[in-house]
């Protein structure tokens, strides 16, 4: 049997005390994020006694320092804040895309940007859907936030082909069109591609006889006069469904039945049909096009601040650490339990340095593996349970639950007798 044991004492030189000190917390935590809160300092110090009792400090030695417990408490608060910020980000991201972002220091605290975002309920705006709809509306010619411009050119006799891109770019550079008229898109085209949405021309007077705005043979019963109703005009009684069909076909009629001309547009080069001549385009002094300018997807639009440099994902949301004062009793208890699990993990790692400790005539086996296993399971269980609860409380889930409550209430009221009012 050895006579000189190393270490000589079976007791660790470091043993967790039964109480902590709020005055020592600030110097012990690694990040110091919550040291400005007296409630945090108090909570961290009280955690020492909680860990001491839960790990059996009244019976066995616990090889931890109060500083270990303080650090675990801070980590638990930060983990709680992390999970809740993820939950909040998932809830509101769609409504705040493009909104103001922020900057943060090494602690994760906000330096610039909106304050208290993780404590606010933003108005529902479905921003993502609106941005998608805006792009589709622009492409389909239904409007959108991208401005649409008008340009024109004068057809030349016996010239069918015209380069719209070149015509508009030249007018943009000079500020005037080929007729000397100032253009609204001056200096805006540069090397950007233009997208033509519509082509217009002034109809010849000969068409007014049939499809003019003030009558003509296109009007039922108006076959006897030119451009107006005669005193002896007769009218057919038309059923409502026929009027509805006429309304549906009206726009198609404008673009097909009433047009003498057509065009072909390929790569912003337009070909007019028929070939302009003295007889064909004599009344169409100019041809107009409506167009919009392709913009850089990475730059802001001068006419519409699209928020390109704002929030684009959960990382750019102005979410700082949740203030300790705003964590309620439910959160505080989760933090205590998670901090305890972290302390178990640290204790298991410390005791795992030596599997056994020799003593005179015997050896002591340490429970580091059990501690590490328990610690990992408890941490995972606490995180999973919290995230599961938060998932049930996502705004989309709350809306579904409101529908269920409304439906159940409606079904209940169906079986309720109606009141009888006596006048």
Q: Say whether pLDDT at 363 is over 70.
A: no
Phi-psi region of 269 (alpha: psi -120 to 50; beta: other; left: phi over 0): beta
3-state secondary structure of 26: helix
Is 213 buried (19+), middle (13-18) or exposed (0-12) by CB count in 10 A? exposed
Question: Which of 2-11, 104-113, 272-281 is most confident?
Answer: 104-113
What gap in Å lies between CA 13 and CA 20, rounded to an integer?
18
**Would you tell me how many other CB atoms lie within 10 Å of the CB of residue 34?**
25
Reported as type and span, the H/E element at residue 325 is none
Residue with tokens 């159940």: 408
pLDDT score recorded for residue 22:
97
What gap in Å lies between CA 156 and CA 395, rounded to an integer?
62
Sheet containing 262-266: give its strands across.
161-163, 269-273, 262-266
What gap in Å lies between CA 70 and CA 47, rounded to an integer?
8
Q: What residue ranges do the domains of the chain occupy?
A: 22-123+320-401, 145-293
Q: Taking residues 145-153, what's their average pLDDT?
A: 86
pLDDT score recorded for residue 389:
96
What is the per-residue pLDDT across 3-41, written as a single tens digit (0 to 9) for each? Answer: 444 444 455 678 999 999 999 999 999 999 999 999 999
The answer to whether 341 and 80 have CB atoms below 8 angstroms apart is no
What is the per-residue pLDDT across 229-240, written as a single tens digit (0 to 9) for each? Answer: 555 555 566 777
Provide the terminal-to-terminal Cα distance of the chain, rounded to the nearest Å: 108
Q: Taking residues 409-422, what's their average pLDDT?
A: 81
Token couple for 162: 């015209």
What gap in Å lies between CA 317 and CA 380, rounded to an integer?
26
Q: Taking residues 38-57, what's their average pLDDT?
A: 96
What gap in Å lies between CA 60 and CA 53, rounded to an integer?
10
pLDDT score recorded for residue 220:
46
Q: Say whether pLDDT at 359 is over 60.
A: no
Q: Report the percentage of the chain scoring pLDDT > 70.
A: 79
Counting every residue written for the chain, the total comes to 423
DSSP structure class, residue 356: E
Residue with tokens 């019976």: 59
What gap in Å lies between CA 267 and CA 263, rounded to an integer?
13
What gap in Å lies between CA 223 and CA 217, rounded to an integer?
5
Q: Say whether pLDDT at 358 is over 90.
A: no
What gap in Å lies between CA 376 and CA 362, rounded to an integer?
31
The answer to whether 41 and 394 have CB atoms below 8 angstroms apart is no
Output the pTM of the full model.
0.71
Q: Report the percentage of the chain scoring pLDDT > 90.
A: 50
Q: Say whether pLDDT at 338 is over 80.
A: yes
Residue with tokens 């076909």: 249
Of 33, 12, 19, whose CA–CA distance to 66 is shortest? 19
Mean pLDDT is lowest, of 37-46, 312-321, 356-365, for 356-365
The answer to whether 379 and 342 have CB atoms below 8 angstroms apart is yes
Q: Taking residues 254-281, what's their average pLDDT?
A: 75
Mean pLDDT is lowest, of 84-93, 281-290, 403-412, for 281-290
Token couple for 332: 């505080």
The answer to whether 79 and 337 have CB atoms below 8 angstroms apart is no
pLDDT score recorded for residue 277:
76
Q: Say whether pLDDT at 218 is over 70.
A: no
- Residue 197 pLDDT class (50, 70, 90 cuts): confident
CA 158 to chain centre: 54
pLDDT score recorded for residue 124:
87
Residue with tokens 């015209």: 162
- Residue 306 pLDDT class (50, 70, 90 cuts): low
> 20-29: long-range contacts at Cβ-Cβ below 8 A with a sequence spacing of 24 or more?
20/44, 20/45, 20/46, 20/47, 20/48, 20/49, 20/66, 20/69, 20/70, 21/45, 21/66, 24/66, 24/67, 24/70, 25/70, 28/66, 28/67, 28/70, 28/71, 29/70, 29/71, 29/73, 29/74
Q: How far lies 112's CA from each of 100, 103, 109, 118, 156, in Å?
A: 10, 5, 9, 15, 60
Q: Say whether pLDDT at 87 is over 90.
A: yes
Q: Say whether pLDDT at 319 is over 80.
A: yes
Q: Say whether pLDDT at 282 is over 80.
A: no
- Residue 366 pLDDT class (50, 70, 90 cuts): low
pLDDT score recorded for residue 380:
97
Q: How many CA atoms lie within 13 Å of 261's alpha carbon, on the beta-carbon side?
A: 25
pLDDT score recorded for residue 125:
86
Q: Taking residues 202-213, what's their average pLDDT?
A: 50
Q: Say whether pLDDT at 368 is over 90.
A: no
Q: Say whether pLDDT at 263 is over 90.
A: no
The chain-wide mean pLDDT, for the chain, equals 83
pLDDT score recorded for residue 133:
83
Q: Say whether pLDDT at 50 is over 70.
A: yes
ω into 7 cis (within 30 of 0): yes
């Amino acid at each position: 049997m050895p006579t000189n044991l190393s270490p000589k004492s079976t007791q660790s030189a470091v043993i967790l005390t039964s109480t902590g000190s709020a005055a020592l917390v600030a110097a012990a935590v690694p990040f110091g994020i919550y040291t400005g809160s007296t409630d945090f300092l108090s909570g961290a110090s009280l955690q020492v006694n909680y860990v001491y009792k839960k790990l059996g400090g009244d019976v066995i030695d616990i090889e931890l320092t109060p500083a270990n417990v303080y650090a675990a408490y801070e980590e638990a608060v930060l983990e709680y804040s992390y999970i809740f910020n993820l939950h909040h980000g998932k809830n509101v991201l769609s409504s705040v895309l493009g909104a103001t972002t922020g900057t943060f220091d090494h602690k994760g605290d906000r330096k610039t940007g909106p304050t208290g975002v993780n404590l606010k309920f933003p108005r529902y705006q479905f921003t993502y859907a609106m941005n998608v709809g805006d792009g589709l509306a622009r492409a389909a010619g239904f409007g959108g936030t991208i401005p649409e411009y008008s340009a024109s050119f004068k057809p030349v006799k016996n010239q069918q082909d015209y380069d719209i891109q070149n015509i508009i770019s030249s007018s943009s550079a000079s500020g005037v069109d080929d007729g000397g008229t100032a253009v609204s898109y001056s200096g805006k085209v540069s090397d950007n591609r233009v997208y033509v949405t519509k082509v217009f021309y002034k109809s010849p007077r000969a068409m007014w006889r049939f499809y003019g705005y003030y009558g003509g043979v296109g009007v039922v019963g108006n076959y006897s006069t030119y451009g107006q109703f005669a005193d002896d005009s007769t009218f057919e009684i038309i059923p409502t469904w026929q009027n509805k069909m006429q309304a549906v076909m009206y726009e198609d009629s404008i673009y097909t039945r009433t047009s003498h001309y057509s065009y072909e547009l390929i790569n912003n080069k337009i070909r007019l049909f028929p070939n302009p001549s003295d007889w064909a385009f004599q009344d169409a002094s100019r041809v107009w096009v409506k167009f919009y300018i392709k913009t850089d997807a990475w730059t802001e639009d001068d006419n519409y601040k699209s928020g390109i440099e704002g929030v684009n994902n959960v990382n750019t949301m102005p979410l700082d650490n949740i203030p300790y004062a705003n964590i309620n009793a439910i959160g505080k208890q989760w933090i205590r339990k998670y901090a305890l699990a972290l302390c178990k993990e640290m204790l298991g790692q410390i005791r795992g340095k030596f599997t056994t400790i020799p003593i005179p005539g015997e050896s002591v086996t340490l429970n580091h593996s059990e501690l590490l296993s328990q610690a990992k399971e408890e941490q995972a269980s606490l995180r999973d349970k919290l995230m599961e609860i938060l998932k049930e409380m996502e705004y989309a889930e709350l809306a579904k639950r409101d529908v269920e409550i409304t439906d159940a209430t409606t079904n209940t009221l169906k079986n309720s007798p109606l009141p009888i009012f006596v006048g």
